[in-house]
Amino acid sequence: MVNDAVHRTVAWPWLIAIVLTVLIVVALLAAWRTRRHDHAAPQSDPGATWVANSARVGGSRALRRWTRRYRAWQWAGITCLVVAVGASAVVAARPADVRVKQSTLGTRDIVLCLDVSGSMLDYDRQMVDAFRTLVKSFDGERIALSIFNETSRTVFPLTNDYTLVGEQLDVAYDALDPAVLDAPTDATIDRYLDFAAGTALTNTQSSLIGDGLANCTLLFDDSGSTTRSRSIILATDNDLRGDPVYSLDDAVKLAISRKIELSALYGASSWVVDPTIESDYRTTVTGAGGYFYHAADASAVADIVERVQSQQAVDLDAAPEVTRSEQPAGWILIALLGVAGLILVQGRVRE
């Protein structure tokens, strides 16, 4: 949800005050000089020329009409000058529209937690496709992507920038190519190593699922102090090859204790030979209140979307976005009209 508020302002209002003050001072000085000139004795004007029998001309009706028109044009000229100077002052003071956009984001927070070990390469692209389908159904949710093997790497933190999310998921799809194992080339290997950089520490362990899930749990920016909904979508084949700090059971309990809903996608990798791996994964997740799906299940993605969207949505206020756009056009037009009017009036006065 976005709320926009727009108000008009000027950058240098003091400039308008200075110009108005100068105009008032000039007007007062002009009025004072005119009054002084009108009350001065005619004899005091050395340039005056006396004309005999001229009093009759001064009282004629035609001369009075001409004088009124002359004064009217003078006042019109003064008005045009004031308008031109005043509008120019406003332009110089930089009028602008200031838009304050207050948006809410992160109605729900979802962390995508992806196992990128070698045993998952047969399924990783399917997982990424599932993630992309999920993202298309979201509106306002914040999403993060974390990948893990021996260690974890955050591909992008919680964000509602779906353009960035889409770009990074496209990068993930290109990098997690099964050809890395089946028919490797320099290009496929380089793409995989670039994307998975930071997920291998000693290269002596892999698929430390508990540590990967625990790291995803820590990506949320609050510890459960609010009722904003939080979800983790974990994708792995649960083929543990090493000694993690967190067991899968410990990590699941950590997530549930922080009121994070866990949806687990199971990728049945051909590397997995132990039949208890799937059942242990399912039992651990569902036993703690989470939800378990096969990655090959066509309804899995739809069920996860429905489950996430059914959770209570709590808005998170974003920092207000302030934009300033200068709007001098109208005042420039007024100033030009004032100048044009002044030129026209001066022409008429000279006539």
Span 304-318, pLDDT tens digits: 777 776 765 555 555
Give the pLDDT band of residue 1 (cuts 50, 70, 90): very low
Least confidently predicted of 4-8, 25-29, 128-132, 278-282? 4-8
- Can you tell me the distance from the alpha carbon of 123 to that of 120, in angstroms, rounded to the nearest whole number? 5
Q: What is the mean pLDDT of residues 279-308?
A: 84
pLDDT at 148: 93
Give the pLDDT band of residue 173 (cuts 50, 70, 90): very high
Least confidently predicted of 68-82, 248-262, 308-322, 328-342? 308-322
107-314 has which CATH code? Answer: 3.40.50.410
Give the pLDDT band of residue 226 (cuts 50, 70, 90): low
Give the pLDDT band of residue 147 (cuts 50, 70, 90): very high
Percent of the chain with pLDDT over 90: 20
pLDDT at 109: 86
Least confidently predicted of 15-29, 102-116, 251-265, 312-326? 312-326
Residue linked to tokens 């956009």: 101
**Tokens describing residue 84:** 């031109």
- Can you tell me the distance from the alpha carbon of 303 to that of 23, in angstroms, rounded to the nearest whole number? 73
DSSP strand pairing (261-266 vs 291-294): parallel
- Can you tell me the distance from the alpha carbon of 138 to that of 211, in angstroms, rounded to the nearest whole number? 27
pLDDT at 271: 65
pLDDT at 342: 77
* CB-neighbour burial class of residue 19 (10 A; exposed 0-12, middle 13-18, buried 19+): middle
- Can you tell me the distance from the alpha carbon of 103 to that of 1, in angstroms, rounded to the nearest whole number? 6
Residue 47 has pLDDT above 70, yes or no: no
Say which amino acid occupies 294. H
Instruction: Please report how many Cα atoms fall inside a 13 Å half-sphere around the Cα of residue 45, on the Cβ side.
Output: 11
Give the pLDDT band of residue 48 (cuts 50, 70, 90): low
CB 251 within 8 A of CB 213: yes
Q: What is the mean pLDDT of residues 96-120?
A: 76
Q: Helix or strand or coil: residue 231?
A: strand
Give the pLDDT band of residue 86 (cuts 50, 70, 90): confident
Residue 294 has pLDDT above 80, yes or no: yes
CB 146 within 8 A of CB 215: yes
Residue 218 has pLDDT above 80, yes or no: yes
CATH 3.40.50.410 domain span(s) along the chain: 107-314
Residue 211 has pLDDT above 90, yes or no: yes
What is the pTM assigned to this prediction?
Answer: 0.60
Give the pLDDT band of residue 170 (cuts 50, 70, 90): very high
Say which amino acid occupies 56. R
Nearest to 308 by CA among 137, 130, 97, 175: 137
